[in-house]
């Protein structure tokens, strides 16, 4: 299974610490750092999810953003997130630098300039394979023919839809082609990276089955595992199959 992945990337920093008093200078908590974790996020997390499922991935990323989170170690509560976003120049499609063929193209687009409508149209002209997209764009017309995943908030902001739109509604359900796919009740610990897991597992299963209904259900099961972990998490194939078989 060979996948071409393009998109915006970031580093997710998790700075854990202890909050044991309020500052005498202002009504804010005093944060004492204890440890730090660093993980790759956005398109880089999609890559991690695909690699965990044993896919072969050729990745092309935009400039690196950094998202730093301050975490109360005692209660695992996020106190603050500090974003240092980088906006990229548009990706230049060079046929000689891309794989000759692939089983799918995955686009993780956080609308930071790297993926433009022109880039999408060029890629669609180069590759005769399924496209799977997660995007923050409000105009999705250039993504016609692609399976595009957005969440319910993003759906409300749309200016133009596309023809294969998958809308995730948190822990409630997923909608595609006027059909609702239920989501099991799950103990949600952290939703960070759930969309990345959904996108990667959707692509993975569709390549295997060519069945979008089954692929959506597979992606729902995979995402329900991710949200049970703190921070980004890439579930294994065994974990996903175990989740699918789990009794209600």
Is residue 28 situated within a structural domain? yes
- Is 8 part of any domain? yes
Question: What's the mean pLDDT in 216-229?
Answer: 89
User: Does the pLDDT of residue 227 top 90, yes or no?
Assistant: no
In order, the DSSP letters of 199-223 are HHHHHHHHHHH--HHHHHHHHHHHH
Q: How far apart are CA 95 and CA 27, in angstroms?
A: 56
- What pLDDT sits at residue 63? 92
pLDDT band at 182 (very low <50, low <70, confident <90, very high): confident
Is residue 191's pLDDT more than 80? no
Alpha helices in 31-107 (DSSP H): 43-52
- pLDDT for 5-42, tens place per residue? 999 999 999 999 999 899 999 999 899 999 999 988 89
CA 201 distance to own-chain centroid: 10
Q: Domain count of the chain? A: 1
Q: Determine, yes or no, domain membership for 47.
A: yes
CATH number, domain of 85, equals 3.40.1190.20
Q: Radius of gyration of the chain from Cα atoms?
A: 19
Judging by beta carbons within 10 Å of its beta carbon (0-12, 13-18, 19+), is residue 170 exposed, middle or buried? middle
Look at 172 and 4; give whichever has higher pLDDT. Answer: 4
- The tens digit of pLDDT for each residue in 123-169 reads 999 999 999 999 999 999 999 999 999 999 999 999 999 999 999 98
Residue 245 lies in a domain: no
Residue 146 confidence (pLDDT): 97
What pLDDT is recorded for position 233?
82
Asked whether residue 246 is domain-assigned, the answer is no
Is residue 185 pLDDT above 80, yes or no?
no
* pLDDT, mean of residues 42-54: 94
Q: What's residue 187's pLDDT?
A: 67
pTM for the model stands at 0.88
Q: How far apart are the first and last CA of the chain?
A: 32
Q: Which domain range does residue 153 map to?
A: 2-240
Whether the predicted pLDDT of 205 surpasses 70: yes
**What is the SS3 assignment for 191?**
coil
Per the CB < 8 A criterion, the answer to whether 60 and 8 are in contact is: no
CB atoms within 10 A of CB 34: 11
User: Is 248 inside any structural domain?
Assistant: no
The pLDDT value recorded for residue 189 is 64
Is residue 50, in this structure, part of any structural domain at all?
A: yes
- Mean pLDDT across 191-220: 92
Structural domain includes residue 114: yes
Q: What would the pLDDT profile of 65-124 be if each residue is shown by its tens digit?
A: 999 999 998 888 889 999 998 899 999 988 888 998 999 999 999 999 999 999 999 999
């Amino acid at each position: 299974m060979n996948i071409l992945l393009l998109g915006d990337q970031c580093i997710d920093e998790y700075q854990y610490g202890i909050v044991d008093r309020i500052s005498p200078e202002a009504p804010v908590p005093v944060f004492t750092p204890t440890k730090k974790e660093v993980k790759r996020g956005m398109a880089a997390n999609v890559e991690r999810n695909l690699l965990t499922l044993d896919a072969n991935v050729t990745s092309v990323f935009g400039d690196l953003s950094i998202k730093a989170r301050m975490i109360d170690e005692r209660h695992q509560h996020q106190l603050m997130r500090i974003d240092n976003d980088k906006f990229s120049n548009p990706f230049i499609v060079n046929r000689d630098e891309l794989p000759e063929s692939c089983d799918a193209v995955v686009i993780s687009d956080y609308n930071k300039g790297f993926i433009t409508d022109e880039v999408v149209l060029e890629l669609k002209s180069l590759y005769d394979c399924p496209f799977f997209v997660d995007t923050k764009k409000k105009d999705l017309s250039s993504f016609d023919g692609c399976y595009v995943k957005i969440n319910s908030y993003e759906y409300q902001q749309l200016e133009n839809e596309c023809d294969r739109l998958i809308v995730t509604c948190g822990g409630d359900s997923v909608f595609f082609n006027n059909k609702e796919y239920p989501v099991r009740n799950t103990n949600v610990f952290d939703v960070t990276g759930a969309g990345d897991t959904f996108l990667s597992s959707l692509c993975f299963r569709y390549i295997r089955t060519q069945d979008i209904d089954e692929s959506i259900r597979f992606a729902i099961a995979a995402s329900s595992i991710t949200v049970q972990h703190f921070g980004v998490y890439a579930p294994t194939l065994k974990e996903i199959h175990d989740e699918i078989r789990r009794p209600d």
